[in-house]
A and B are shown apart, each in its own frame.
Chain A
C-alpha cells in the first residue's frame, strides 16, 4: 500500500489497482468549515488533472482534481451526508472517491509524503 500527494493538496492511497483519493489535513485547514461536497458517480471515467469533485466551505467553492486517471468505483456517500468529515477526518473517513487505476505510470509523477511535507513548509 503506497501513499502519494499532489500540489493541489490531495492524497492518494494505492492498493494494487485501486486508489482512494481525498484532501489533506493542510487543505481542510485552509478551506475552513466544509459545508458541501459533491463526489463523482460510479463508472465515471476521469483523466489525470480533470475536475473530479467539489468541496465547498463557508467562504468558497474548491475543485478536487483526479491525481491520476481511472474509472470511479465509488464516491464516499458518508462524506456527502456529513461534509464535516472532510475537516474532522480528512485523511481517513473523509475520503472522496475510489478509482480503478488505468495507468500506474502516472503514480511516478506524484509526491511522496516527505516531498509533500517539504512542499507545504515552503508555502
Chain B
C-alpha cells in the first residue's frame, strides 16, 4: 500500500473486514471485500454499505446566499425547499464542467457534496468567485451510503422517521444517539440513503448497520459498476472541463429559469447548445460479445476514423453483457444505431441503448415523480 495515501476514518474497519485497499483520489480506499460481482448483486437485491467519506462535504454560509450561489450554479435555488437536494454543476467560462455535485438547502445554509478528486479545485473556484460566502470544508465529517431495496427497512429500524423521506430530500436525525444528516439519495439507481456523521462516530454507525443481515460492506469496484448500470456519469471520465452539460445529457441540471436568465459561467455557449444542440452526445452502448470495452476505446466510422470515444465501460453484472458510455456524433444517438468501436487494435460492434441500462428504483412519492 502506498503510504502517501490519506486514510479514511474507517480505514482499520475496512481492513478488518478483508477489504483490498487501493489508491483513489489520494485516499486509500476499499475496492472490494468478497468480490465486485457479489457485492454489486447484493446491493441490487438487498442493502450495501459504502464508505464515501472521501467525497467533499462543504457548508456555505453568508448573506444573500442564494443569489451568490446562483452565480456559480445553474440551479434555481429559489424553488429549492428546505431539506431538498438538487443535482448541479460547477461550470467554467466555456460552459465546461468543473465538477458535478449535490446541493441541499439546510435552513440558514447550503450543504454541498462534491467529488473527492476535484474538491480542492472546487473550493478554490468557489472562494475566488464568491468571496462574500464562507465555505467550510467539513474535514471531521464522514459520509456513508446505504443503498438497495432493503435499505429503507433496515434504516427505519434504527431511525423511525427516515422512511418518510422521499427521493432527493433529507433531514437531521438522531442515529443511535449521533446527530446525522440523512438524505434519500445515492449513486446506484436503487432506493437508498446517504448518511453524514462526525468522523469519530462513523465506526460505531457502520458496525450498527452491518449488524443487520440485510447489509454488507461494498467497495469502490461495485460502486462503479452500479453507477454505470444506472447511467450515471463519473467526473473525470464521462465528464471533464471540456465537456458541456448538453453534450453530457445533463441539460436537466440547468433549471428552466436559468436557461432564460443566465447569470452563470458559460451561459453563452450553453444557451447556444440548448438552441442548436451539441456536436456529440453521451449515449449508452450495449456491446456485442463478452469482452468489455472500456474508457479510452474509440468510436470509429466505416473507414476507421475516430468520431467519438468511450468514456466508461465494463461488464454489467445485472445484465451479464458488456456496457459502455460513449460520446458519439448526435446523428448516431438514436437507440438501435450500430456503433463501431476500436480497442487495442480490435474492432467491436455495439448498439445505442437508452440509459439507464438497469431501471432506477428511486423512492418517489406524490407529485415528485
Q: Please judge, given known A-B contacts A32-B36, A36-B315, whether A58 and B291 are in contact too, CB under 8 Å.
A: no
Interface mask (B286-312 → A, CB under 8 Å = 1, otherwise 0): 000011101000000000000000000
In chain A, residues 34-89, which have Cβ atoms closer than 8 Å to a Cβ of chain B? 35-36, 38, 54, 56-59, 61, 83
Decide if B281 is an interface residue (CB 8 Å cutoff).
no
B38 surroundings in chain A (CB, below 8 A): 33
Which residue from B37, B221, B290, B294 sits with its C-beta under 8 Å from A61?
A: B294
Cβ contact within 8 Å between A33 and B292? no
Q: Which residue of A lies closest to B220 (CB)?
A: A59
CA distance A38 to B292 in the complex (A): 12
CA distance A115 to B322 in the complex (A): 38
Q: Please judge, given known A-B contacts A32-B221, A33-B35, A33-B37, whether A58 and B314 are in contact too, CB under 8 Å.
A: yes
Tell me whether chain A's interface is mostly helix, strand or loop, or mixed.
strand
CA distance A83 to B37 in the complex (A): 13
Q: Please judge, given known A-B contacts A33-B35, A33-B37, A35-B315, whether A58 and B225 are in contact too, CB under 8 Å.
A: yes
CA distance A94 to B264 in the complex (A): 57
Q: How many residues on A have C-beta within 8 angstroms of the other chain's C-beta atoms?
A: 12
Cβ contact within 8 Å between B291 and A38? yes
Cβ contact within 8 Å between B221 and A56? no
Decide if B31 is an interface residue (CB 8 Å cutoff).
yes
Which residue from B31, B32, B292, B344 sits with its C-beta under 8 Å from A35?
A: B292
Cβ contact within 8 Å between A32 and B35? yes
Q: Which residue of A lies closest to B317 (CB)?
A: A58
B37 surroundings in chain A (CB, below 8 A): 33, 35, 58
Cβ contact within 8 Å between A56 and B291? yes
Q: Which residue of A lies closest to B344 (CB)?
A: A61
CB distance from A48 to the nearest CB of B (A): 22
Cβ contact within 8 Å between B292 and A56? yes
In chain A, residues 14-33, which have Cβ atoms closer than 8 Å to a Cβ of chain B? 32-33
Cβ contact within 8 Å between A58 and B221? yes
B225 surroundings in chain A (CB, below 8 A): 58
CA distance A12 to B335 in the complex (A): 47
B317 surroundings in chain A (CB, below 8 A): 58
CA distance A32 to B196 in the complex (A): 30
A36 surroundings in chain B (CB, below 8 A): 290-292, 315, 322
Q: Which residue of A lies closest to B343 (CB)?
A: A61
CB distance from A63 to the nearest CB of B (A): 10
CB distance from A34 to the nearest CB of B (A): 10
B292 surroundings in chain A (CB, below 8 A): 35-36, 56, 61
Query: Which residue among A35, A36, A83 has the maximum number of chain B CB atoms within 10 Å of its CB?
Result: A35
CA distance A111 to B353 in the complex (A): 48
CA distance A32 to B291 in the complex (A): 16
CB distance from A37 to the nearest CB of B (A): 9
Q: Please judge, given known A-B contacts A58-B37, A58-B314, A58-B315, whether A32 and B290 are in contact too, CB under 8 Å.
A: no
CB distance from B323 to the nearest CB of A (A): 12
CA distance A33 to B344 in the complex (A): 22
B31 surroundings in chain A (CB, below 8 A): 59
B291 surroundings in chain A (CB, below 8 A): 36, 38, 54, 56
A54 surroundings in chain B (CB, below 8 A): 291
Interface mask (B27-39 → A, CB under 8 Å = 1, otherwise 0): 0000110011110
Cβ contact within 8 Å between A35 and B290? yes
CA distance A61 to B297 in the complex (A): 13
CA distance A32 to B317 in the complex (A): 13
List the interface of chain B (C-beta within 8 A of A): 31-32, 35-38, 221, 225, 290-292, 294, 314-315, 317, 322, 344
- Beyond known contacts A32-B32, A33-B37, A83-B290: 5 more, CB 8 A cutoff: A32-B36, A36-B315, A59-B36, A61-B294, A61-B344
22 sample A-B contacts, Cβ–Cβ < 8 Å, listed by A number: A32-B32, A32-B36, A33-B35, A33-B36, A33-B37, A33-B38, A35-B37, A35-B315, A36-B290, A38-B291, A54-B291, A56-B292, A57-B36, A58-B36, A58-B37, A58-B221, A58-B225, A58-B315, A58-B317, A59-B31, A61-B292, A61-B294
